[in-house]
Structure 1
Amino acid sequence: MPIRGGLPPRNPRFVGREGLLADVRGLLGNGPVVLLPSADHQLGGTGRTQLAVEYAYRYAETYDLVWWIPAEQTAGMRAALVGLAQELRLPEARDINRTLGAVRDALSRGEPYRNWLVVFENANRPEDIKPYLPSGAGHVLVTSRNPRWTTEVAQAVPVPVFDRTDSVDFLRRRSPDLSAVDAERLAERLGDVPMALDEAAAVRSAAGWSVDDYLRRYDERAAELAFPTPIRVAWGLAADGLAETSPAAFELLELSAFLASAPVSWELLWAARGLASPELARTVRIERRLKAAMRLIGRYGLADLDPPGGSLVVHPLVRGMLGQQLSSERHAVLLRTVRAMLAAADPGDPDNPTHWPRYAEIVPHLVHSDVLGGDAEEIRHLVINCVRYLYAGGDYDSSRDLATQAVARWRDSLGETDEQTLLASFHLANALRAVGRTADARALNAQTLRSQREVLGGDDEQTLATANSVGADLRMQGHFGQARQLDADNLVRYRRLFGESFPTALRCANNLAADLRLLGDFRGARALDEQVLRHRQMIFVDGHPETLSSRAGLAFDLYGLGDYPAAAELLAAAGHFDTLGPDHPMALWAGRFAAMAARRSGRPDAGALATTNAELYRQKFGDLNVETLGAMVSLAHCARDAGDLDEAHRLLERAVARYHAVLGDEHPFTLAAGADLAGVVRATGRYAEARTIDQEALGGLRRSVGADHPFTLSCANGLAADLVALGEGQPAREIALDTLTRSRSVRGGDHPDTLACAFNVALDAGDDQSAEAAIEELQKVYGEGHPLLARARSGVRLETEIEPPPL
């Protein structure tokens, strides 16, 4: 049996279409096939979806995998593809676009399944699905109402109405007591249109109408319409029949005119129990009555129900016809009800994964119900929560698109300084930063913060949240000092307003610790991280991501202080990182820091740890992500220690180029990576080239982070080595002595890098006694047998590589 995902139930009453099924089977071998309505029924109703479902079941045994993807809306399509990624056991990237690209590529390669069928249902915008269409040995089947499909994308197969034999067969299967003559009469009047035939069969069965009675009603209804078509007339009779039998069920159906073609669960409809008319409210407020009304809608052929009867799907044609027959007053009433229903179904806390299934059900209906135009605060808050849900789930593009629409609409209707407009702007900036538009995010955040401070005040919780986001922008720009100043001010406000154990206050403290690490103040960062960790352990369960974030940050603090065994011990003792999954951001941080500590401790497994970590980062975040580049730098250091200078040079050269592209030429990380690259160039004997790189990096670091920053001290140590190798002893000694003095002041005399600088100064001066004393101190730090000691004893100058902290 093939693996199946999202496949609708098979239609037990499917008839005919043998020629079409054979044609589709043959054409799929040449590339994607799109099923379109025939030219004389361009609105649909000819059975495209049913044909696709039948094909999937009939030929299922020839596939290893069959996956059904609702493609009417981008968010729903992306969610279905993420589910496919999980089935394919692909690592889920933080950016959902990387996950979707990985799905396409895995299917195209035939890994792990060579024979697969992917069906995109209701893909009415070819440009939306084109980026996700796989190639390879598998098959892609599409259903669409849009005729604008080119042969470059898919082969078009028009789906016509039934031939008369199939119409008669279809009707008699639905009603076994129906004579062939009566079936022929019905089929002729209904033009052999599958959807019209289905509705006629359903309403006759539900209402108990005879063929003569039905045809009489049909003619009367057709005479009332200016442009009667079989679908419009048959639908009208079914709707009238349902309204006569159950006004409440019909009103429930009317609500679907403002919902999408996605499944609508009874839980979602149940949210309308206090909002609907008295007649409908009586039905909706009791689960048993609500489900009975949903079944009745299905019996009249006006919606499809899933097998348990918990969700219904209304055909787009039915939704369209429902909307057309509403008066303007009725339209306004129902639209308000649907918007309020969706808001009432909002579970809140969109960062909580347990709430994501409900948000996944709500999001497809936002467009059809035009919630952006809602005039109630709770409806706009639903939009904001959906923006955040999409962001939290990694669908940054959809989050950005929804936030962009919200900001544009609300600026016009509410004003630029409205509280919810500003909140939507804050979330839009987050999404912009996530998709790489950092300059746009920075400008929007700055504008939003100014407005919030003027309108809401500096102590408002929303203002503080935006200020935190501005701090992230400053870190990304390399303005670490400004970020520290802003975050320190935020922390004072948070603690005064909410107390120091409040979760968002702890996040702010966590951000301030990150600022201190970036500034090289590892003692200050350690004190703050230890404090935050204690509070988080008191308020969160074991293994909570925020607690693990504090552990990881504290481990980097210990590394920065030169206590490599303690850093490794903390990461190993935490033990909880594994529970998050190997590609969770906190697990990736811990993996990188563990590799760094292992390398500094001289362990032989450091290279393997760094290799695994860098690949996981690349899969999760992509090649141009700042954290991926940090992992690449760590891997390069391992390669250098292993003697593979070519690999170390390749990795660092690539890292420098990408830092330039992502952060700019003057960012401290770009300059630090350049200093690391100079170290590898120096190791290959190209001292003049290394000096050029180091001089440029050192000047930039002194300007950006100051002469006492650890990055600057490491770079200066490298430049002194360049000058020694080039025979420029005097300037080399001056730089080396200045670096040692600063390192003792900033890092302490017993820090491993300070001891390395002391050894280098003694070596340059020919002071064997001082050099031996430095080696003895290094042995206390690293332990006997460490490779660094062997290098020092052989008279080789010691390097002090730079490891960029997380931004």
Structure 2
Amino acid sequence: MSTNDDLSRLWIEAGGQRSIAAAQIANAYTGDVLPSEALHTPMKVTAAPGTSNLPPAALCLGREAELIEVRRILTSRHEGAITQSGTVHGLGGIGKSTLALHYAHRHRGDYALIWWINAASPDEIETSLTSLTQTLVPGWATTAERGALVAWAMQWLAWHPDWLLVFDNVENPDDLTPYTGALHQGHHLATSRRTTGWPDSASTLTLGNLEPDDATALLCRLVFKETSLAPRAQAEARVLAAELGYFPLAIKQAGAYLAQNRGISLDAYRRRLETKLAKSAHGTDSERTIARIWNVTLHALERIDPLAVEVLHTAAWLAPDDIPHSLLTALGTDPDDIAEAVGTLAAYSMVTDTGTTLSVHRLVQTVLRTPRNTDDTQSTRHLRGRDGAERAVLRRLTPLPGRDAPAEDQWDALTPHLVTLAATRPSEHHNTPLANAYETAAQRLHQQGHTARAVPLLEAVLAYCEQALGDTHLGTLNSRNNVASAYQAAGDLRRAVPLLEAALAQREQVLGDTHPDTLNSRNNLATAYQDAGDLDRAIPLLEAALAQCEQALGDTHPSTLVSRSNLASAYQAAGDLDRAILLLEVTLAQREQVLGDTHPDTLNSRNNLATAYQDAGDLDRAILLLEVTLAQREQALGDTHPDTLVSRNNLANAYQAAGDLDRAIPLHVATLAQREQALGDAHPDTLNSRNNLATAYQDAGDLDRAIPLHVATLAQREQALGDTHPDTLASRNNLASAYQTAGDLDRAIPLQEVTLAQFQQALGDTHPNTLASRNNLASAYQAAGDLDRAIPLLEVTLAQCEQVLGDTHPHTLISRNNLANAYKAAGDLDRAIPLLEVTLAQFQQVLGDTHPHTLISRSSLAGAYKAAGDLDRAIPLHVATLAQREQALGDTHPDTLPTRHERAHLRGEAGETPRA
């Protein structure tokens, strides 16, 4: 598998007379777009009173104190909290969902809308949100794409107050960040087995077992449909409840069994639990308790309906939710028999059945996947269940003679089950057809832009290759490279880099130092170093790779040209634009000569050179080259080819950088619509386009459209890429910036603080994006008038920029300018003016006299002279700056207009990063 990822590098600058925060930390690419009418309707659509999708109320005895505590958590403001949210956590089967459901039903009158969300995965959260849109705007929703439905729901929640979202069964606390971090008009209530990983400001309630009286009453209600019994029956119920550890799921399972077997007394059932069947259970206390109950239940089911036991053991190895009955129907099996078997399981509370699909409790799956040390039949039952699940999935993916291969939507429907099988693969357990299915599913996810979600599949493929082919087989080395690339796509550089280092060492040993695959490995490792902000290791490695390519393959070999282009990209990232541009110009000339003027690689070079010109502030050359490149790509590749869409996006960015929003915004809108149609709603390029459109709206002062679009983009990036992927963090930064622009510092500052902490954890303390985030937080503090926090943070940031990037890197100069403006805001002109004079001289030397950053610096210095009463120097400098802006940027560019805040954006989209 190979990837070709677009790179973007961004920095935010606070500049100008009032030194406000810069805008966006990263760029965007493209995907789905909401129809124009849908961008406005969320604020106008109201929910009918009592709108909800709540399941029927479940039996909930006791828990009164817990219900009161949940209400207190959701209705009380907490220090450091952005929104009102709470989490109920505890063991699987402890009754978290029952408690949340009981709370929701009890307080239906307190909310305008209540929505129950299956939160086991980002995809399932999205599915629940699409149903919300379908409920509120059924007409439009029938023809809208999934991503547009999710975005509409997010915008509706952003506009309307007094709702409750119940996120049931959260597996990863990070999955909720797009919602708790961006939606503040209502309450968020989550249930989860996870006790760690929640934000420090999150309010949590740990749910324990039932009180003895409540457990006894619940058991009596389930078995006898009443709680007032004869003293002997009450005593037996109390003893059995104690034997079950007052564990709610155990009580429910035992009650369901006894209700189905009226001839068995509570005391007789308790004695069965004490037989040798109970002594085989391993694991946690709750798992041992449940295993004991299920041993009894399964023994009964084996006599009543053996097929039901087989179905249950098969379902244990699949994704826990939405398992189609048809997937469990083997060839030659009557579908009605499967339906009856599922009905039996539901009657014993072993599964939840909708009539066409079933769900299995995760604790049930955990226990059923665990081997039992009983008789031979039981000890291998879990493996037979695993084999059944594998056969079921492969049966659906293997075309029958004379029939077509599985459709794409069938692959997509089965992918969650393949991911579950891959993630739960027993050690040394391999299945060749299944490994091939894993690889195919991983390739589909990669093609859809979801490489990060393919990690379990690719890990399983690698394990298979290591066993079947050996550790240094070429197929194994390729597989190892693919796993590393998936880690890198997921933003998990801590795992990606060591694996790429190992892959390179093995390829060097097996293939030799200059084999093309070895050179590709070296290139991939260097790009990972670059992604991690470690340019000190990336650049020498790329220089070495280029020298080896030139020697082994020749100066104009396509791989050599790719290597040269990547080295130029690293120089550009390091702020060494003179070397970057020179190398890009050489590469473009060579590609034109060797490959032709319209070869895709030649067009990539032209695109990359244009973005370098843009970074250097030469917008006239950048725009002209981007226009030419776009026209050539449209002619050579077609109007909707991904590379054409890259060009269209980059041209829109350049128009935006030039202040020409009348051309930038329509082009962003068109690009987003085309990417959505061509690539899908959640493809990274689609999300980048959505982000770019939001920033363009923000630049145009249209915050009513910018903020909801930022909210939607952040939610989708969290789900598609993960909570700490660099693009996700960039989106979170951009949303905070939009809040700051809107003057909503109460939302902006906490979000910036969270984002900075995540950048530090994900990328390290001195990564360029971390430094940018620190700069932005300081700018927000400054906007809030909190100079005591802003100035020390800016001083730290400047020192780190000088150490990591060098004294004259553009980001260092931006940081120096921002610190000087903060000194000026604090009235410390003795420090501000000399620092601004030095910074202006450096900007002029590094970027030229009319670069936008230079103009900002000149304007800042003029403002400082004015504040010092030195009008003889201030006025000529203001006049000169205005004239230069009019000439360089145009008369109506936002930076030209004196009423607009000074700001500068660095954004670009490189069209080429080859991965072997």
TM-score, structure 1 as length reference: 0.56
1:446 is aligned, of 501, 508, 516, to 501
2:707 is aligned, of 588, 602, 611, to 611
Aligned twin of 1:380: 435
Q: How does 1:537-552 map to 2 (within 5 A)?
A: 537=634, 548-552=645-649
> Are 2:690 and 2:713, in contact at CA under 8 Å, matched by a contact in 1?
no
Structure of larger gyration radius: 1
CA–CA separation in structure 2 for the residues paired with 1:449 and 1:661 = 26
Q: How does 1:373-452 map to 2 (within 5 A)?
A: 373-374=429-430, 376=432, 378-387=433-442, 399-401=454-456, 403-404=458-459, 407-408=462-463, 410-411=465-466, 414-430=469-485, 432-433=487-488, 437-452=492-507
CA–CA separation in structure 2 for the residues paired with 1:161 and 1:631 = 48
Q: How does 1:671-682 map to 2 (within 5 A)?
A: 671-676=771-776
Deviation of 1:676 after TM superposition, in Å, equals: 5.0
Aligned residues: 653
2:842 is aligned, of 711, 728, 738, to 738
Aligned twin of 1:159: 254
> Are 1:775 and 1:789, in contact at CA under 8 Å, matched by a contact in 2?
yes
**What do residues 388-441 of structure 1 show as CA deviations (whole Å, max 9, x unaligned)?**
667889999975455555545654554332344444434543554566643222
1:778 is aligned, of 861, 885, 905, to 885
> How big is the alpha-carbon RMSD for the aligned residues of Structure 1 and Structure 2?
7.3
1:574 is aligned, of 671, 695, 712, to 671
Aligned twin of 1:87: 131
1:670 is aligned, of 752, 761, 770, to 770
CA–CA separation in structure 2 for the residues paired with 1:781 and 1:155 = 74
Flag the 1:571–1:394 CA change in 2: closer, same or farther, 3 A: closer
Amino acid corresponding to residue 506 of structure 2 in structure 1: S
Amino acid corresponding to residue 157 of structure 1 in structure 2: K
Aligned twin of 2:829: 725
Deviation of 1:659 after TM superposition, in Å, equals: 3.6
Aligned twin of 2:137: none
Correspondence 1:714 to 2:814: yes
CA–CA separation in structure 1 for the residues paired with 2:246 and 2:179 = 20
**What do residues 673-715 of structure 1 show as CA deviations (whole Å, max 9, x unaligned)?**
4455666677789989877655554454355445554323433
Amino acid corresponding to residue 83 of structure 1 in structure 2: T
Amino acid corresponding to residue 840 of structure 2 in structure 1: A
Q: How does 1:304-323 map to 2 (within 5 A)?
A: none
> Are 2:856 and 2:902, in contact at CA under 8 Å, matched by a contact in 1?
yes
Deviation of 1:356 after TM superposition, in Å, equals: 0.6
Flag the 1:433–1:350 CA change in 2: closer, same or farther, 3 A: farther
Amino acid corresponding to residue 712 of structure 2 in structure 1: L
> Are 2:610 and 2:626, in contact at CA under 8 Å, matched by a contact in 1?
no
SS of the residue aligned with 1:416? coil
Flag the 1:743–1:682 CA change in 2: closer, same or farther, 3 A: farther
> Are 1:432 and 1:441, in contact at CA under 8 Å, matched by a contact in 2?
yes
> Are 1:592 and 1:613, in contact at CA under 8 Å, matched by a contact in 2?
yes
Aligned twin of 2:562: 492
**What do residues 718-759 of structure 1 show as CA deviations (whole Å, max 9, x unaligned)?**
456558822675665344223223221xxxx54433334455
> Are 2:749 and 2:777, in contact at CA under 8 Å, matched by a contact in 1?
yes
CA–CA separation in structure 2 for the residues paired with 1:628 and 1:339 = 33
Deviation of 1:373 after TM superposition, in Å, equals: 3.3
> Are 2:311 and 2:342, in contact at CA under 8 Å, matched by a contact in 1?
no
Flag the 1:67–1:445 CA change in 2: closer, same or farther, 3 A: same
Flag the 1:769–1:388 CA change in 2: closer, same or farther, 3 A: same
Flag the 1:686–1:553 CA change in 2: closer, same or farther, 3 A: same
Amino acid corresponding to residue 708 of structure 2 in structure 1: T
CA–CA separation in structure 2 for the residues paired with 1:258 and 1:649 = 45
Flag the 1:628–1:2 CA change in 2: closer, same or farther, 3 A: closer
SS of the residue aligned with 1:439? helix
CA–CA separation in structure 2 for the residues paired with 1:318 and 1:756 = 65
CA–CA separation in structure 2 for the residues paired with 1:308 and 1:662 = 41
> Are 1:562 and 1:752, in contact at CA under 8 Å, matched by a contact in 2?
no
* Structure with the larger RCO, 1 or 2 (CA within 8 Å, 6+ apart): 2
Aligned twin of 2:412: 356
Deviation of 1:670 after TM superposition, in Å, equals: 2.9
CA–CA separation in structure 1 for the residues paired with 2:520 and 2:902 = 42
CA–CA separation in structure 2 for the residues paired with 1:762 and 1:301 = 78
Flag the 1:466–1:160 CA change in 2: closer, same or farther, 3 A: farther
Flag the 1:368–1:522 CA change in 2: closer, same or farther, 3 A: same
Q: How does 1:566-645 map to 2 (within 5 A)?
A: 566-574=663-671, 576=673, 579=676, 585-586=684-685, 588-594=687-693, 596-597=695-696, 603-605=700-702, 607-621=703-717, 626-631=726-731, 634=734
SS of the residue aligned with 2:531? helix
CA–CA separation in structure 1 for the residues paired with 2:197 and 2:756 = 34
Deviation of 1:785 after TM superposition, in Å, equals: 7.3
Aligned twin of 1:475: 531
Flag the 1:232–1:790 CA change in 2: closer, same or farther, 3 A: closer
Percent identity for Structure 1 against Structure 2? 18
CA–CA separation in structure 1 for the residues paired with 2:197 and 2:751 = 34
CA–CA separation in structure 2 for the residues paired with 1:333 and 1:154 = 28
CA–CA separation in structure 1 for the residues paired with 2:681 and 2:637 = 21
Amino acid corresponding to residue 589 of structure 1 in structure 2: N
**What do residues 122-181 of structure 1 show as CA deviations (whole Å, max 9, x unaligned)?**
xxxx779999xx999xxxx999xxx998657757224368789x779xxxxxxxxxxxxx
Flag the 1:232–1:715 CA change in 2: closer, same or farther, 3 A: closer
SS of the residue aligned with 1:662? helix
> Are 2:717 and 2:728, in contact at CA under 8 Å, matched by a contact in 1?
yes
Amino acid corresponding to residue 663 of structure 1 in structure 2: L
**What do residues 166-222 of structure 1 show as CA deviations (whole Å, max 9, x unaligned)?**
779xxxxxxxxxxxxxxx9xx9xxx99xxxxxxxxxxxxxxxxxxxxxxxxxxxxxx
CA–CA separation in structure 2 for the residues paired with 1:399 and 1:148 = 43
> Are 1:255 and 1:338, in contact at CA under 8 Å, matched by a contact in 2?
no
Q: How does 1:98-109 map to 2 (within 5 A)?
A: 101=176
> Are 1:591 and 1:613, in contact at CA under 8 Å, matched by a contact in 2?
yes
Amino acid corresponding to residue 574 of structure 1 in structure 2: T
Report which stretch shifted further, 509-518 or 468-477.
509-518
> Are 1:85 and 1:99, in contact at CA under 8 Å, matched by a contact in 2?
no
SS of the residue aligned with 2:471? coil
SS of the residue aligned with 1:712? helix
Deviation of 1:520 after TM superposition, in Å, equals: 5.7
2:852 is aligned, of 745, 752, 755, to 752
> Are 2:649 and 2:689, in contact at CA under 8 Å, matched by a contact in 1?
yes
> Are 1:449 and 1:467, in contact at CA under 8 Å, matched by a contact in 2?
no
**What do residues 496-525 of structure 1 show as CA deviations (whole Å, max 9, x unaligned)?**
9x9899999799979968995997688798
Amino acid corresponding to residue 660 of structure 1 in structure 2: Q
> Are 1:588 and 1:613, in contact at CA under 8 Å, matched by a contact in 2?
no
SS of the residue aligned with 2:251? strand
Flag the 1:667–1:325 CA change in 2: closer, same or farther, 3 A: closer
> Are 2:423 and 2:456, in contact at CA under 8 Å, matched by a contact in 1?
no
**What do residues 295-332 of structure 1 show as CA deviations (whole Å, max 9, x unaligned)?**
677799999999999999999999999977999xx999
